[in-house]
Amino acid sequence: MKLGSELRAFEARIGYSFSTPELLVEAVTHASMSSSTRNDNQRLEFLGDRVLGLVMAQALIEADPNASEGALAPRFNALVRKETCADVAREIDLGAVVRLGRSETVSGGRRKLALLGDAIEAVIAAVYLDAGFQAARDMVLRLWADRITQVDDDARDAKTSLQEWAQARSLSPPEYIEIDRNGPDHAPIFTIMAQLSTGVKGSATAGSKREAQQGAARALMAILEQDT
């Protein structure tokens, strides 16, 4: 099987050339394009999630041999969470080569956080099956390099930090309220408000509810830090 020019260019972006091109094709095929003769990437995503986890666990232990499990866990979560995977996918323009059905394309699937996060994990699995763990590890470390060195700056997501702040003060967990939604159905824009039981609130706008909630939590944490 020969890859088209777009997938060959994608190989160049990830720094890996497939011996079995069918694996890459499967990795970029979304469930909306699956059929009896065409596999989608869900099984590869399941495997790639585990490969990514092992690579990151090893990288973190090697980077800080004296770190405790309690210190390593939030760093690990920051590196493997779906938002991080989607950011990496955007940097290599994975969305441009993902194969989607018409309805998913119309609904803005190439920009969806979960879809991109799943797809990069499928690509990791495809490399692993094509050439083994070392090849997959090398690619992941290349793509995640800056994030690994800067992980302490992003070790806890904003929602977790806000919830821990509230718990430490015997407050109820923060509420996340959708206060606005604009844009077309295929590319909605959400505005979310994060609010504590004390009445302090912060808001943010983003292209997904998850990103808007994180932004609102960051905004609220910034207000709380100014008041302390």
Catalytic residues: 49, 121
Give the integer Cα–Cα distance in Å for 221 and 215: 10
Residue 210 DSSP label: H
Question: Which residue, 81, 173, 63, is CA-closest to 120?
Answer: 81
Q: How far is CA 171 from the centre of its chain?
A: 30
- For every residue of 67-89, DSSP letters joined together read --HHHHHHHHHHHHSHHHHHHHH
In 3-state terms, the chain is what percent helix, strand and coil (to 5)? 65, 10, 25
